[in-house]
Amino acid sequence: MGAMNWGFKKSLWVFHLNAGACNNCDIEVLDCLCPKYDVERFGIKLVGSVKHADVLLVSGSVPRKVVPQLVETFEQAPQPCAVVALGSCGCTGGIFKDGYNFAGPVDKHIPVNAYIPGCPPRPEAIIDGIVKLIGKL
Amino acid sequence: MTTTIPIGPFHPVLEEPEYITLEVDGETVIGANFDLGRVHRGMELLAQEKTYDQDIFLVERICGICSASHSWAASLAIEDIVGCEVPARARYLRTIVHELERLHSHMLWVGLAGHIIGYWTVFMWGWKYREPILDALEAITGNRQHYAWYRPGGVRRDVPDEIWPNVLKIIEEFDRKTDMLTGAILDDPVILGRLRGVGILTKEDAIAYGTLGPTARGSGFDVDIRRDEPYGAYSEVDWDVIVQDGCDCLAVAVVRLLEMKESVKIIRQCIEKLPGGPIDAEVREVPRGEGCGHVEAPRGESFHFIRSNGTNMPERHKMRAPTFNNIPSFRPRIKGETISDALLIFAVIDPCYSCTERLAIVGPSGEKLATSKDLLRLSHEKTEELRKNS
């Protein structure tokens, strides 16, 4: 196990980026931090800047206006940084994939390590996705 | 000398991507500008390319928190065209889900407001008390959010009677917790200091800027679609419209806190009176015509207009979400306040930018470039591109 993988083993810090989501995925992410699920017990927490983050959590269908900022955010992240696409929109574009302003999904612009489908994914699903991500890294 | 402070577009406090620039002189805010468009998904055109049944699923996803309001308003618009009578049981079931949504939305706002003014306890409490409401919604509709519960003519599924005692237990418990939380918030001198007298929106301004919902009711403007133009079961149950004259952030917070108690009252009565019978008017065809529907969403009015040309898809589907008419009230609120209060004032209308995004591309001489035909062309080109690539 290299130093990098060792760093991923515990206490993942997450930067959450809403790239055109309907709020639901974002609310479920916040729900994970609240008393019922409380992932902060395991050292997983949301941080205010991607420069502090181990994981970039992207929700939403990625409208055109967000693309440059999405790519820039990913480039600013210290590597290795795992990217998680959250929700149906983030994974495939979902119901919005035929829209004229749709420029996604997320993996069209940045490499994605894990997909968490669902509209919205339940907090349990989000936690399960992160646990599987830790196992994979 | 004025300085410009950028907030966003990906700000840790604001969940949604929006870019706000504050013009400040010293610590006093003298103006605010918004740069939106990061959540624009082209809903109205998408709605015109889907059938009426599919449309309901689409409009639910305008916003994650008002999903029941939007789907109910769209269903009302379609029922307006068809001219069908919704069965009583369906009206009551619709009302219950809508009020449960209001409960969780208001509680979410209370939590976020606590988070913004630096009270993590309020945030954690609020979101903890909100969880059982989501469980109740899951028991009734099958999903925590995006319920897929409304359909033109009624509701999609019937509910067995066994679940109601559990739902009643959840809302009674929630009612007690709300009392406790309301008392704790309104007794705390620091919270009162942060909210009272901050972000004044006078009644005249509230009317002039076209605000609706708790934003308007916090400024003494007595308006509520549930009472003024009753739909669902609202005319058959006993409840009050909460109006506060404070005009500041505290008044809006009090409106939301007290409205939760009214919602609990409505749900309790609806469950007690819930009639039997069919749940769906079985709408099979939508004739040529126009219809509109509006409901009182947790944040204001959610309005849907549909024009049908007799086919199975709407010819025009216009949506207007609550935040759209509440956003302009930022300007009178923010003038003369300090930077530290700015975020609270942005949050006080419970903004939801995903509801609000509009597209209008304006050319150099002022002509509108993005007509619906242009948008259609863009959409078609995109499909072609996808086809070529696949």
- Per residue in B13-70, pLDDT (tens digit) is 666 777 777 788 877 888 777 777 778 888 888 898 899 989 999 998 888 888 899 9
Query: Confidence class of residue B295 from pLDDT cuts 50, 70 and 90?
Result: very high
Do the chains contact at A120 and B9, CB–CB below 8 Å? no
pLDDT value for B198 = 85
ipTM exceeds 0.85: yes
Superfamily classification of domain B39-338: Cytochrome-c3 Hydrogenase, chain B (1.10.645.10)
Phi/psi for A15 (5° steps) reads: -105, 125
Of B9, B16, B108, the CB nearest to A69: B9
For each of the domains in chain A, give its residue range(s) and CATH number, in order of start: 3-136 (3.40.50.12280)
Q: What whole-number percentage of chain B has pLDDT above 90?
A: 36
pLDDT value for B358 = 59
Question: Who's near B159: CB < 8 A, 6+ residues apart?
Answer: B93, B140
The closest of B225, B191, B238 to B293, measured between CA atoms, is B225
Searching chain B, which residue's CA lies closest to the CA of residue A65? Answer: B38
Phi/psi for B127 (5° steps) reads: -75, -25
Do the chains contact at A65 and B146, CB–CB below 8 Å? no
- Per residue in B92-124, pLDDT (tens digit) is 999 999 999 999 999 988 888 888 787 888 888
For the record, the structure tokens of B173 come out as 């418990």
Searching chain A, which residue's CA lies closest to the CA of residue B49? Answer: A98
Q: What is the DSSP letter of B219?
A: T
**Given a cut of 80, is residue B377 above it in pLDDT?**
no
The closest of B261, B264, B280, B284 to B272, measured between CA atoms, is B264
Exposure of A36 in the CB half-sphere (CA atoms within 13 A): 19
Q: Which of B207-221, B331-345, B372-386 has the highest mean pLDDT?
A: B207-221
**Given a cut of 50, is residue A94 above it in pLDDT?**
yes
- Per residue in A11-48, pLDDT (tens digit) is 888 888 888 888 888 888 888 888 888 888 888 888 88
pLDDT value for B368 = 53
∠ CA A25-A27-A28, rounded to 5°: 65
Q: Is B146 on the interface with A (CB under 8 A)?
A: yes
Q: Is B9 on the interface with A (CB under 8 A)?
A: yes
Q: What is the mean pLDDT of chain A?
A: 86
pLDDT value for B369 = 47
